[in-house]
Amino acid sequence: MEEKLIRVLIAEDHAVVREGLCSLLTARYGVEVIGEAANGLEAVEKAQSLQPDVILMDLAMPRMTGLEAILKIRERDPDARTLVLTSSSEEAKVSAAVRAGAMGFLLKDSSVEDLAHAIKSVHRGNLSLPQGLAQKLMAGLLGTAADEALTEELTKRELDVLKCLAQGMSNAEIAEALSVSVPTVHSHVHNLLGKLNLTSRTQAALYAIEIGLVTPQS
């Protein structure tokens, strides 16, 4: 059976970069570019209308920044999977992107093979971060939350949901796996994020790795 292509939306304000990505990301890499956005506002609109599997998002864009776009997209679709593609590797920007809900971060000078690998990783629901950066992010984003979690125990069901989140499962997939309704899963996710003092599913996945609930995947 032929493998289904990963449907990708490219959000990038430079036309030359967009055209280059479109020409590079072909079926050869298991990817199909289904749309392009030249600014953050357009990215939000096309993410909703096209429902891509993965969104490639630049951070510095007109009308609405990439970070603002990620937040807006997540408001409408909590299961949206975004890979930030940028020219800056500043830790503060990576941290901000993860807080906004991005599941991956890649530099624009990366090879097309690395880009395709990151897209596939994010599509599977795994975190895709630069080598050595994940540990720093865990310390920075989760340092206080991990300590507080010791005094704010999660229920068994919340731990089950957390493990599913870390495996990249959507709310619908979690509901099916645990034999509960989607609204129930939504409630569990909201509760566990509050107890752990986290703001996104990405941070929850990092936390699950940090406490050894799941192991990192590539």
DSSP symbols for 108-128: TTS-HHHHHHHHHHHHTT--B
**Range of the structural domain that residue 113 is part of:** 6-130
On whether the CB atoms of residues 181 and 172 are closer than 8 A, the answer is: no
Average pLDDT of the segment spanning 89-93: 70
Residue 218 belongs to some domain of the structure: no
User: Which of 102, 130, 158 lies at the terminal end of a domain, its last residue?
Assistant: 130
Q: Does 111 score more than 50 pLDDT? A: yes
Bridge partners, residue 55, by sequence: 9, 82
- Domain boundary among the residues 91, 115, 130 is at 130
Task: Kindly report the CATH number assigned to the domain that includes residue 169.
Answer: 3.40.50.2300
Q: Per the structure block, which two tokens stand in for 90? A: 């500043």
| pLDDT tens sequence across 157-203 | 988 888 888 777 888 888 999 999 989 998 998 888 888 877 777 77
Q: Are 103 and 81 in contact (CB under 8 A)?
A: yes
Number of domains in the chain: 2
Same domain, 162 and 97: no
Measured CA to CA, the distance from residue 157 to residue 103 in angstroms comes to 24
> Considering the entire predicted model, what is its pTM?
0.72
Q: Note the pLDDT tens digit of each residue in 6-21.
A: 999 999 999 999 999 9
Residue 60 lies in a domain: yes
Helices 66-76 & 91-100, crossing angle to 10 degrees?
Answer: 20
